[in-house]
Each structure stands twice: as C-alpha cells, then as structure tokens.
Structure 1
Amino acid sequence: MIQKYNRATLIKAIWLSVFLHIAILAVLFMGDFTSETKPLKSSSVAKEVKPIEATVVDGAKLQKAIDKIKKQKADDKAAEKRRVENIEKRANEAKQRRAKEEARIKKLEQQRKVKEQEKIRADKAAKESNAKAASAEKVRKQKEQEKKKAEDAAAQARSKRLAAEAATKKADELRKKQIEERKRQEREAAEKAAQEKLLAEQMAAEMASRNKARQQQMMSEIQRYAALITSVIDQNMINDRSTMEGKSCKLMISLAPSGFVTQVRNVSGDAVVCEAAKRAVYKAGTLPVSKDPEIFKEMRNIGVTVVPEF
C-alpha cells in the first residue's frame, strides 16, 4: 500500500514539473525577440544607431535557459527517481523484514503446535500408562482382598471353634467356681455379720461413752464461761446496797463468735438489778467465749444469774 502511494505521488510530481516547464518555454517563445531598435530623434543631432543583434543573443540565453530547465528537470527527475527508489528499497526491506518476522512467527507457531502435539501424545501415553497401572493395581488389590477374606474366614472359623471349646471349658470351670464362691461368700457373710454386729455394739458403747464425756466436758466449759461472764458483769456493774441487797436477775445474752454482745434480754428477777446488769454487759461490749465451735454453738445464747455483792 505504501509503495502504491509513493508511485502515485511520484507520477503527480513529474506531470506537474512537465507542465511548469512547458509554461515557461511558451512565455519565452511568445516574447518579441526579433524586433529592431528604433533610432532616437533629436532636434540638434540625429545619430544613426546600428541595430542590436537580438536574435543571436536572445537565442543563446533562451537555449541556456532551456538547457538549465532541462538539466533541472533531469536533476529533479533523477532525485525523484532516487527518492522513489529509496522509498521502494525501504518498503522492500520492511516487506522482507515483515516476511522474515512472519516466517519466524509461523515457524514458532509450527514448533509450538509440534510441541503441543508431542505433549498431547505424551499426556495420552502417560494417561494410558497410568490407567494400565491403576487397572493392574486394582486387580492386585482385589486379589489381595480376596486372599485376605479367605484367610480371615478361615481364621474366624478357627477362632469360633477354639472359642466354642474354650467357652465350654470356661463354663464348666465357671460353674464350679461359682458354686465354690457362693459357699465361700456365705461363710464370709456369716462371719462378717457376726463381726459387724460385735463391732457395732462396741462402737455404740464407745460413742455413748464419748458423747457422755463430751457432754460433761461441754457443760463444764459452758458453766466455766458463764462464771467468767458473770465475773465481767460484776466488775462493770454499779451496785446499790439500799436497792439491790438480797436481790438478783437472770439475763439471756446473745453473742457473736468473737464474743461481741448482740442482744441482752431480762428473763426474771429484780428490775433494778436487771437494768444495772444490762448496763454492765453493754459496757463490757465483748464477753469471753469458747473457740470450740461445738461449745460456742451451745453458749451463743447463754443465761447468767447476777447477784450483787457488797
């Protein structure tokens, strides 16, 4: 396409050059180069002037101009020819390069297709080989499974037979052992019942003895703490012989585990003595208590009798 475009441009340029040269020649030839020069007139002197050889001089100039135009035309034509040849040369070189590139691409494509076909054949062969190997492996595994099933069946039959024999033997032995075990258990149960009965009787007696001792101990401790509490009350109590002599008061005191007095109630007795005793309890604030949880449980609400001393 480039080559056709360059040729068309070249033809247009040549025709334009030809038209221009023809126009110049026409102008030169149409000029009056053969006319003679008229003599000048003067009032005083009339001098005769020879005619100029215009035909010879102008013809040489014309020929020189024509030769120049022809040379320019030939030079332009040669330059245009060289330009066209150069364009055609570059176009041919580009065409050759394009052809080489297309050939190279075509060759690469052919190589790619060959390799692709080789890969397809190799993949197909590998697939067929894998399929054959898988089929052979499947057959081998199937045979192994069948063999294993047969061996397992034989082993199971042998195991069942041995198990049946062992079960029969074991059942006989178990029956004998069960009879012996039942007799032994009966003897042991009788002995154990007698021992447990004796032990229970001994433990009951021991517990009764311990509980009695514990109760006595707890009562003794409670009485001791009641005496201590009464002593604290006496120390904090303000006595008046005229109103309190020969009188008493019984109080019920509620205590916290720390001995802190939480409540004091009158149970019975003289009101004056009770009021003085209550003030003494609250004044003390904290009373002696046992650290033993069981003893404290029994004395957390403790009753004391206050008798003023003079």
Structure 2
Amino acid sequence: MKALWLSIGLHVVLLAVLLSGDFSTMPKPLPTPSAQQAKPIEAVAIDKSQLDKVVNKLKKEKADARAAEKRRLENIERRAAEAKQRRAKEEARIKKLEQQRKKKEQEKIKADNAAKAAKAKAAKAEKLRKQKEQEKQKADEAAAAARSKRIKEEQAAKKAEELRKKKKAEAEAKRKKELEEKKRKEREAKERAQQEALIAEQMAAEMASRNQARRQQMLSEIDRFSALITQTINRNMIKDRSTMAGKTCKLTISLAPSGFVTQVQVGQGDRVVCEAAKTAIYKAGTLPVSKDPEVFKEMRKIAVTVVPEF
C-alpha cells in the first residue's frame, strides 16, 4: 500500500510539471526554418502523446487505487459486521450456557433438597420403627412383670391374711396393755405439767427480776454516757458567760458504733447555745459510746441537754 501511494505521488508530480507548459498552441515557425528547428516540433508532438498516455495511466491508476481502497473499506466493514455478528452469536451462546448452568444449578439444588428430605423422611421412619419396637418390647416386659406381680400379690395376700389374723390377736393384747400404759402416762404427764408450770412461773419471776435489774443497769449506763457526752461537748464549746449563762439547749445526736457523729438535730433551747453545742459536737467528731451492744442500741440516737459550764 505504501509503494502504491508513492507511485501515485510521483505520477502526480510529473503530471504537474508537464501541465505547467502550454501544449494547446503549437510553436510558431522561424522565418527560415531549417532541419534543426523542425526536430523540436516533432519532439513536442511526441511528448504530448506520451503525456496523454501518462495522464491516462495516472487516471487509471488513481481510479484503480480508489476502487481498491473502496474494496478495502468494504472488506473492512464486511469483516467488522461479521465480527459483530460473531460477537453477538458468542454472547448469545454464553448467555444460553449461563442460563443452562443456572438451570442445572437450580435442578441440582432441588435434587439435593429432595435427597435431604428423602433422607430425613427415611431417618424419621427408622426412628419411628425403632420407637414402636421399643414400645412393643416395653409392653411385653410390662405384661410379664404384671403377671409376675399378680402372682406375687396373690401369694402376699394369702400371707397377709394369715398375718392379719395373727396381728389382730396380738393387737388386741397390745391394745389392752397400751390402754393401761396410756392411763399411767396421762397421770405422769399431768404431774409433770404441774411441775413444769411451777418451774416456768418461778423462772418467769426470776427473768423479770433479772430484766428489771438489767434495765436499771442499762439506764444507769446510758445516763453515765450521757454525762460523758455533755462533758465532751462542754470541753469543745466556745462559751460566752454574758450570752450563755443560765441558758440550755436540747440536742438529739445520731451515733455510729465507733462513736462517730452522723447527725445532730437541734431541739428546744437558746439559739446561741445550740449553735455553739452543735459546732462543738462536730469539732469533737466522735463521742463516748458503750461497747455493750444492747446499751449502744438504746443510745444510738441519744437526747442530751447541754448546760454551758463556766
């Protein structure tokens, strides 16, 4: 193809050179024509004929080249159309194969599911068969056991009747003996109840006496710690005789087992004394408390009257 276009180019250049001259009019003869002057005229005629041949040849080659190019383009378009058709056919074939593959895959899934269902059904049937077989075996064993039990029960009933008659006689004798024993125990129980009532009455009196003594002891202990607490408050109070003399304040103090003050409630009394006492309590932080759990339980929340001492 490259050589063809090179040839066409060379011919076009040659044609342009040839056409640049004026071949339509013949050259005028000289006044005295000679043999030498006649030769160029003949040469021009020959050149024009050759030029026509070249031009015709070039036209033919150009026409041939155009025809060849047209055929080449038509061939390319034909091959492109064929390739497009082949590609469309291939895509259709691939699509069909994909559809077939999906169909086979779905069929395989259905077959697998059917196989699983059949296997499960078979397993269920086998399980049911074994269950019925076991139930039959258990029923047979139960029937045999029932027969054996019935025979044993009949034998046991016979022995029981004999034993009942024997025990009835023994029970009658035992009943008489138990009746006598019961009367004896009732007499003893009555006497024992009277003794126990007497002892309980004595113990209750003694317990009441002890509780009274313990209560008195606890109250005395609480009073002692109340005095200790008021002394502690007085030690920590900032007192002013001119404003506090002859005045009091009632306080309710909540305490932890360690004596730590958890809360102070101000009651009736002089405001100045109450504020000073409350400040003194929190300043002390902990107050004297009894180690005795019962005493502390009574004084966990203790009421004291603070009288400033000067």
What range is the shorter-chain TM-score in? 0.3 to 0.5
Greater Rg by CA: 1
* TM-score where L is the length of structure 1: 0.48
* TM-score normalised according to structure 2 size: 0.48
